[in-house]
Structure 1
Amino acid sequence: MRSQLTRHVLRRLLASDAHVPLLPLRSTFVLSRSRPTFRVYPVGSRVVRTIQKRTFVKEFFGQKSPRALKQLETEPGYATLLRFHASENIGVQDSRRPPTPDELVTAWREFFAYKTRHRRAVNSTQALSAHRVLLHLSSSSANSRSALLSKSDLRNAMECLLKPPRDYFEHHVDFSKEIYSEIKKRGAHQPKDFNMLLTALSQYGKALEARDMVLEYFQSNQDKEPLDDRLRHFIPVIQGLAEEGREPELLDLFAKAEEAGFECEETVHCVMATYFAKKNKVEETKTWFNKPIKGGNSPLPTTYYEILRFALRNGEKEWAMGIYQDLISKIESGSWKSNKACWDTAYQWAILLLGKGMDHIEHMMKVAHDFNQDDPESQPNIETVNMLVQIATDKNDPYMAERFIALSKKLGFEPNWKTYILQLEYRIRANDLDGAFTAYQALEDLDVSTKDRGIEALNSLIRAMCAVPNPVYERVLDVTSYLEQQLVTLEPETVASICMAFLKNDETYEVIDTLSLHTAYYSVVERSMVQEAFVNYCLYKKTSTARIWDAYSLLRQFFPETKPESRVRIMEALFERNRADMAAHTFGHMRAIGNPRLRPTLDTYVRFFEGIGKCPDEESMKIVHNMLKMDTTIQPNTLLYNALMIAHVACGLPYQSLDLWKDITTSPEGPSYASLEIVLRAYEITPDGDALADELWGKMQRMEIDIPRHVHFAYVVTMAAHSHLTKAKSLLEDMEKAFEQPPDSTELGHVYNALPSREMKEEFKTWAVEEYPKAWGQLKAKYKKRDQEGLAVFKVRRRPWKA
């Protein structure tokens, strides 16, 4: 049974912020029974935004109590490892004592025993945390023998690291090296320990380092290890070099291995032949495929399949025919008569190379059955059909695949889990989700543990079902619950798909359950994938504001480590929706985060106040302004003062804005061009602003400041707003001379809208029609409405202003 934690412990640790309490998303949050469990409640029938209360009357009439939400879980021991890692982070202040060495050893054993038992990969965050624990225990001065990891503990961890994670694996490399170093330091290392290290390095992008190590090891252990055992260490390194595409090093290492007595076995033969086949190198591929295999064994089925695909791609059908004829002759002559893999390969080549149909394949299977009457294990079976279905799937030919399934039924073969997984795959590719779900139901009835490939296929099924315009939510929950029963952690992309689908249907509880059951097992990178899906959902323009707030609340609850930039993007999206109150809440949530790295910076304050400029709301502005006054980490500068001025002007508070202007003028940094535009716009709504604007304009003229167009135009509008129409017209003409470009329709519209009387508007219209007929003609096409005083105004694009 998995260890149970309180709902927020793990998320606090991931955010390096364990001491800050997280507010519950809903007041109905309670702890629930542990995973796994079926989610058997109906979908689409709840109103999740309503807070429910259980009363005697509701109980009497049989009404249900509020949903009990699933508890956030993590793997046994991991919370302790993570807590230790968090306590080591610089700047994290945690009042709780860090785990003792004895607790860390117990947690280590529980964690890696669980990983081994359930064949789970160690993700990058887990590898990093366990690595830090190992370093701590290795340097610990504790005298307790129980605080020492045994050689078995270290080897179990190293074996777990060989299962590749879904995210990056740099930490796996460092951790594997440290484990091997610790084993070696104790003088207890064995050849298998070295082989595990080579395997880890080779499959995680460090094949060159593994090559150097294996060559040195081979020379220095001549008297300590048998030759065959030493030669076996070359195999994972050869595989790693091929995977990384290091052809010169690959050929060189193979040559050195051969000189030392290495014979090419099936695995290495497959690596070398398929490496060149995938690169379409004809001569090299032929040479390596024809290379004798140790013991006279046949090439692996994988080798045959890749060679066949290579031949068909590169016009080497005649050469492939020779391989096929040689294969058939060895089967018929008896040397490979009982080799079922060779029979299966023959069916495969008959279809792809010779274009044989279903009748011919059925005949070949009957011949194989007759040839091996005394050896049932060599006779065709469901695995033979699975291999043929795989061919059809790779060819993206669902019709052929279905015919092979029908053939298996005709021959009396009982489908196994792989058969249904293949059906899932090709039906999903054909967009036959009903058929894919039918295959899933058959798989479910088998009552077998789902293999890795099956997990991938079922994840694909869930994503496909969530991607359709109208998902069948019961089916999504059915497959999800099936995997949860088997303690399978869904892939991050799948969790994101489920969450997005259920958010669109207002099934918030399903989203909470999904996140609770799966995100605790993710690394930081995997969590960021789900997190990004929530951020994008909040930014999607067609998402309703209510759903955005639900998604944001879940994001804040389950992903407290969300970067400030993502939070700011959501805040700005709320401003675009004219919800300054919600934007202020998002800012307040950032301000309340305990981790200093995630709190608002000066730029965050600037972007908030600029948002107020687009969506004025005095109460929201004052709330955040008060936060700024209390924030000792922020040192105001011109940029911040500009943003504050924008917010105050937008909220109709010009005098407070002018107080900020005084702070700018007396500061060492002084005003910027943006400051000049903003103060002129403040003068625009100030009762005596025309005189102040004239004074500032005169000062700029005397100082011979190079005035940009946006500052010049701000002065024009200010003059128009204070009834100085003649001066505004003159300034517009000056602007055309100064910037060699006449006013456009938007600029004329803003001047027209700023004029305070109907007579002035008519006079300006007459003048503009004569002076700028083209621009005014474009403006006339825009929608005209009435302002609060009943005057006509054009609906033109809002004047942009930036701090």
Structure 2
Amino acid sequence: MRSQLARHVLRRLLAGDLPAFLPPTLIRSRPTFRKYPVGSRVARTQQRRTFFNLFEKPPRVLKELSSEPGYDVLLKFNAAGNNVRPPTRVELVKAWRDLFAYKIRQGKVVNSTQALCAHRALTYLCDQITRSRDEQLTADDLRNARDCLLVPPRDDFTNHADCLTAIFKELRTRNAQVPKDFSASLLSLSQYGRALEARDSLFEYLAQTANKESESTRLSYFIPIIRGLAKEGHEQELLDLAAQAKKAGVEYDPNFHNIMTSYFADKDNIGETKHWFNKPIHNKLPPASMTLYKVLQFALRNNEKEWAMGIYQDLISKLESGPLRYNKPCWDTSLQWAVLLLGKGIDHIEHMIKVAQEHTREKPSSQPNIGTINSLVKVAIDKKDPYLAERLMALSYKLGFQPNYKTYMLQLEYRVLAGDLNGAFAVYHLLQDLDVTTKDRALPVLNSFIRALCAAPSPNHDRVLEVTSYLEERSVTLEPETVVSLCMAFLKNDEKFEVIDTLSLHTFHYSINQRQMVRKAFVDYCLDKNYSTARVWDAYALLRQFFPEVEQEHRAAIMDAFFERRRADMATHVFGHMRAHDNPQIRPVLETYVRFFEGIGKAPDEESLRTVHNMLKVDTTIQPNTRLYNAIMIGYTACELKYKALDFWTEITTSPEGPTYASLEIVFRTYEITSDGDKLADELWAKIKRMDIDVPQHVYIAYIATTAAHGHLREAKLLLEDADNVVGKRPNFHDLGTVFNALPSDAMKKEFEVWAAVEYPREWAALNNMYAKRSREGLAVFKIGRAWKA
């Protein structure tokens, strides 16, 4: 079974030390579920042992997790501007060495955040002012980092390119650069989106080193740049460099042939694809298998089957009696073409395999084997034909081919594609029996399998845990998409501790962008109204614990979501967590306070209101304005603390900014629940008329509702009838419902209903059709919303 963390334990880095996965502006200490770090946890002793203890389930096993060596030190260095003591130069050099030595040893990819930290540390260590003879990075240290950074990450590679540029610059400064360093420099520029820069660098280098290097070395520099230009889509520059490479003596070998042909085939450029494919290859070598497969797909897309048929027939003739007789990749390619181009079935494929065996019996290494079947299964997968793939697997058993690791991975892939999770899980068990180290190229398939298990209508969590355990034992970091699927499946099954384990094991190794993908899924979960409040709160607690960098915008959205659920207490906790955050950018601003007090209008709660109002009083970063006072009035009015709300109306009227239309609507609604509010409302309305202010409809209706709430039905009806003259609009059904709901007695409501049905028959009918009535405090009211807006 899966090795676990103790239920409420996070890694030491998640407890007291710096969270090594955060950018410097977000580094902070966070509270943990336990009051003491994992390392100092006292082991619980068994006081007595009885017979029945033998059958008890063993306690959850604590798995000690170690961070990637040196990474936390590099992060501390980047956090030095946040009142954190920076590491010493000795610590920084050691951290650099440890991190990249670990990456080389474990074969792990450097993520974009690690590349950013390494670049900043390198800039500091190599600065002329801070340079020290006693402790500095050696050329070998720089080259170790270079080799690691040349492996592309899954996310943004900008930081990789910048760090590599700094490494090559430092090697040149020390006069330590050798031809291999320059070759690596060209490769890094070419594969990280800077092929044009690599081209210019090559021409400059060739001019400076004329006759100082062997011709083969100089010519080897062209191909990575040509590949980079093709990848970036610089067509004219690609053609120009290809011509210059040919002029310089670069042979048109299968690799060069593949780059040029594949580029135009991907663009469906028929003329150029045929031109570059038909160009003679150096030493009359055959095209690479990947080139032939790419050309076949191109021909099928562009209705060039006749041209492809000529290529196929020429290939077959050379295989059966020509120079390609012992070329196994070409035999495998001919089988792929037979399936895709000719649509041949299993019987014909079996016959072709036997023909190949007959022609290559003198050279066993050239005979068809399980690799041949693997290439055909890949074709079936590309065709999205799992039935063909299954028949090919049956053929492999019939021919006596022994499946290998790749065979099982392909089988797993097409069964997942077919939605056959039971079959896929059976293949996974066969895969487990192989004593083979998990290959990076297989990881996407296993990640897809886990996601498919999680996406099932009723996920089998035991299977999910079994597969994840297999990968965890091999120290594999799951893809962010897979971690999202796992966490969502566990949350839906109330397996909170499995979520803790998953996040603890994997998110530490992610870059900022990868972490953003996972935390967005948690934010979306918290905002989904289909989940229970308890589950959403658990998700929020995990989000806050593992992702302290969650943006203020998302935290405020979660706060709003709790108000929608009528849980002002939870919304207050979310606000408090923002208020207490170490990062000033995440703390509440004026807009956040406004949103909170508006939320109290949806879910009145006096204790929550006073708690946040007290926070506001001591928040020196907030300069109150009319909008904030409006929001506070909303909160106190919703909690029926009307006189306290009116204190802020006084603040508004005496402020330089003065009231807004929203202020007028809010104060009328406050007067609605105030004992002498009718008189105050009349006085305010008279003042508005004297000042000849254009009043919007929502303010006018608020005044009418106040009049109705104090039992002045006749006046309310007259005001409604005069609406067209005052605001230029007749009352709509929402206005009628608002006034109806404000009336204080059933007798008045019945009288109003009779009157409205006669005076506003269409609007009243629409109100009755769209909104049902309910009983509130013994009185009938329509279920219409009356939003608060500051």
The answer on whether the counterparts of 2:740 and 2:781 sit within 8 Å (CA) in structure 1 is yes
Q: Alpha-carbon deviation of 1:621?
A: 0.7
Question: Given the superposition, is the C-alpha separation of residues 368 and 227 from structure 1 closer, same or farther in structure 2, using an over 3 Å criterion?
Answer: same
The answer on whether the counterparts of 1:30 and 1:69 sit within 8 Å (CA) in structure 2 is no
Instruction: Give the structure 2 partner of residue 7 of structure 1.
Output: 14
Q: Alpha-carbon deviation of 1:32?
A: 11
Instruction: Give the structure 2 partner of residue 233 of structure 1.
Output: 221
Cα distance between partner residues in 2 of 1:575 and 1:286 = 64
The answer on whether the counterparts of 1:568 and 1:604 sit within 8 Å (CA) in structure 2 is yes
Q: Alpha-carbon deviation of 1:138?
A: 0.4
Q: Secondary structure of 1:729's match?
A: helix
**Equivalent of 2:100 in 93, 109, 112:** 112
Q: Secondary structure of 1:786's match?
A: strand
Matches within 5 A, 1:289-438: 289-438=277-426
Residues 421-442 of structure 1 deviation map (CA, whole Å, 9 limit, x = unaligned):
1111111111111111111111
Question: Given the superposition, is the C-alpha separation of residues 57 and 725 from structure 1 closer, same or farther in structure 2, using an over 3 Å criterion?
Answer: farther
1:77 aligns with 2:70: yes
Matches within 5 A, 1:509-524: 509-524=497-512
1:799 aligns with 2:753: no
The answer on whether the counterparts of 1:745 and 1:775 sit within 8 Å (CA) in structure 2 is yes
Cα distance between partner residues in 1 of 2:348 and 2:134 = 67
Instruction: Give the structure 2 partner of residue 39 of structure 1.
Output: none
Matches within 5 A, 1:33-52: none
1:630 aligns with 2:633: no
Q: Alpha-carbon deviation of 1:12?
A: 7.0
1:725 aligns with 2:733: no
Q: Secondary structure of 1:785's match?
A: strand
Instruction: Give the structure 2 partner of residue 693 of structure 1.
Output: 681
- Structure 1-normalised TM-score? 0.93
Amino acid at match of 2:634: I
Amino acid at match of 2:788: W
Cα distance between partner residues in 1 of 2:478 and 2:736 = 58
Residues 611-666 of structure 1 deviation map (CA, whole Å, 9 limit, x = unaligned):
00111111001111111111111111111111111111111011111111111122
Cα distance between partner residues in 1 of 2:128 and 2:599 = 52
**Equivalent of 2:83 in 77, 93, 100:** 93
Question: Given the superposition, is the C-alpha separation of residues 10 and 525 from structure 1 closer, same or farther in structure 2, using an over 3 Å criterion?
Answer: farther
% identical equivalent positions: 59
Q: Alpha-carbon deviation of 1:56?
A: 5.3
Q: Secondary structure of 1:163's match?
A: coil
Instruction: Give the structure 2 partner of residue 44 of structure 1.
Output: none
Question: Given the superposition, is the C-alpha separation of residues 794 and 253 from structure 1 closer, same or farther in structure 2, using an over 3 Å criterion?
Answer: same
Matches within 5 A, 1:210-249: 210-249=198-237
Amino acid at match of 1:438: A
Instruction: Give the structure 1 partner of residue 3 of structure 2.
Output: none
Residues 115-155 of structure 1 deviation map (CA, whole Å, 9 limit, x = unaligned):
11222211111010000000010016567545211111111
Which stretch shows the higher mean deviation, 344-353 or 482-491? 344-353
Amino acid at match of 1:597: Q
The answer on whether the counterparts of 1:17 and 1:594 sit within 8 Å (CA) in structure 2 is no
The answer on whether the counterparts of 1:12 and 1:20 sit within 8 Å (CA) in structure 2 is no
Question: Given the superposition, is the C-alpha separation of residues 202 and 192 from structure 1 closer, same or farther in structure 2, using an over 3 Å criterion?
Answer: same
**Equivalent of 1:587 in 575, 580, 590:** 575
Amino acid at match of 2:78: H
1:461 aligns with 2:449: yes
Amino acid at match of 1:67: R
Cα distance between partner residues in 1 of 2:762 and 2:256 = 77
1:197 aligns with 2:185: yes
Q: Secondary structure of 2:781's match?
A: strand
Q: Alpha-carbon deviation of 1:330?
A: 2.0
The answer on whether the counterparts of 1:12 and 1:560 sit within 8 Å (CA) in structure 2 is no
Residues 520-550 of structure 1 deviation map (CA, whole Å, 9 limit, x = unaligned):
0000100010001111111111101000011
Cα distance between partner residues in 2 of 1:293 and 1:124 = 39
**Equivalent of 1:785 in 774, 777, 787:** 774
Q: Secondary structure of 2:14's match?
A: coil
Cα distance between partner residues in 1 of 2:561 and 2:320 = 72
Instruction: Give the structure 1 partner of residue 7 of structure 2.
Output: none
Which stretch shows the higher mean deviation, 115-124 or 169-178? 115-124
Cα distance between partner residues in 1 of 2:51 and 2:579 = 46
Cα distance between partner residues in 1 of 2:359 and 2:719 = 101
The answer on whether the counterparts of 1:369 and 1:379 sit within 8 Å (CA) in structure 2 is yes
Which stretch shows the higher mean deviation, 16-25 or 190-199? 16-25
**Equivalent of 2:30 in 2, 19, 22:** 22
Q: Alpha-carbon deviation of 1:572?
A: 0.6
Question: Given the superposition, is the C-alpha separation of residues 577 and 715 from structure 1 closer, same or farther in structure 2, using an over 3 Å criterion?
Answer: same
Cα distance between partner residues in 1 of 2:57 and 2:430 = 33
Cα distance between partner residues in 2 of 1:367 and 1:705 = 96
The answer on whether the counterparts of 2:604 and 2:639 sit within 8 Å (CA) in structure 1 is yes
Cα distance between partner residues in 1 of 2:641 and 2:488 = 42
Question: Given the superposition, is the C-alpha separation of residues 166 and 681 from structure 1 closer, same or farther in structure 2, using an over 3 Å criterion?
Answer: same
The answer on whether the counterparts of 2:740 and 2:752 sit within 8 Å (CA) in structure 1 is yes
Residues 548-569 of structure 1 deviation map (CA, whole Å, 9 limit, x = unaligned):
0110000000000000111111
Which stretch shows the higher mean deviation, 757-766 or 373-382? 757-766
Instruction: Give the structure 2 partner of residue 527 of structure 1.
Output: 515
Residues 303-332 of structure 1 deviation map (CA, whole Å, 9 limit, x = unaligned):
000111111222222211221122122223
Amino acid at match of 2:536: I
Q: Secondary structure of 1:470's match?
A: coil
Amino acid at match of 2:70: G
Matches within 5 A, 1:560-571: 560-571=548-559
Q: Secondary structure of 2:19's match?
A: helix
Q: Alpha-carbon deviation of 1:71?
A: 5.2
1:573 aligns with 2:561: yes
Which structure carries more relative contact order (alpha carbon 8 Å, separation 6+)?
1
Q: Alpha-carbon deviation of 1:59?
A: 8.1
1:744 aligns with 2:732: yes
Cα distance between partner residues in 1 of 2:644 and 2:61 = 50
Cα distance between partner residues in 2 of 1:138 and 1:648 = 60
Q: Secondary structure of 1:359's match?
A: helix
Amino acid at match of 2:276: W
1:652 aligns with 2:637: no
Q: Alpha-carbon deviation of 1:70?
A: 4.6
The answer on whether the counterparts of 2:661 and 2:699 sit within 8 Å (CA) in structure 1 is yes
Which stretch shows the higher mean deviation, 192-201 or 488-497? 192-201
Instruction: Give the structure 2 partner of residue 555 of structure 1.
Output: 543
Q: Alpha-carbon deviation of 1:477?
A: 0.6
Residues 183-210 of structure 1 deviation map (CA, whole Å, 9 limit, x = unaligned):
1111011122122122122112111211
Cα distance between partner residues in 1 of 2:35 and 2:730 = 60
How many residues are treated as equivalent by the alignment?
775
**Equivalent of 1:757 in 745, 769, 773:** 745
Q: Secondary structure of 1:14's match?
A: coil
Instruction: Give the structure 1 partner of residue 663 of structure 2.
Output: 675
Residues 171-228 of structure 1 deviation map (CA, whole Å, 9 limit, x = unaligned):
1111111010011111011122122122122112111211211222222221222222
Residues 577-599 of structure 1 deviation map (CA, whole Å, 9 limit, x = unaligned):
00000000010011111111111
Instruction: Give the structure 1 partner of residue 602 of structure 2.
Output: 614
Residues 710-733 of structure 1 deviation map (CA, whole Å, 9 limit, x = unaligned):
111110111111122222111111
Q: Secondary structure of 1:431's match?
A: coil
The answer on whether the counterparts of 2:23 and 2:512 sit within 8 Å (CA) in structure 1 is no
Cα distance between partner residues in 2 of 1:732 and 1:559 = 53
Q: Alpha-carbon deviation of 1:55?
A: 8.4
Cα distance between partner residues in 1 of 2:392 and 2:564 = 56
The answer on whether the counterparts of 1:84 and 1:133 sit within 8 Å (CA) in structure 2 is yes
Q: Alpha-carbon deviation of 1:10?
A: 4.4
Which stretch shows the higher mean deviation, 726-735 or 367-376? 367-376
The answer on whether the counterparts of 1:311 and 1:320 sit within 8 Å (CA) in structure 2 is yes
- Structure 2-normalised TM-score? 0.94
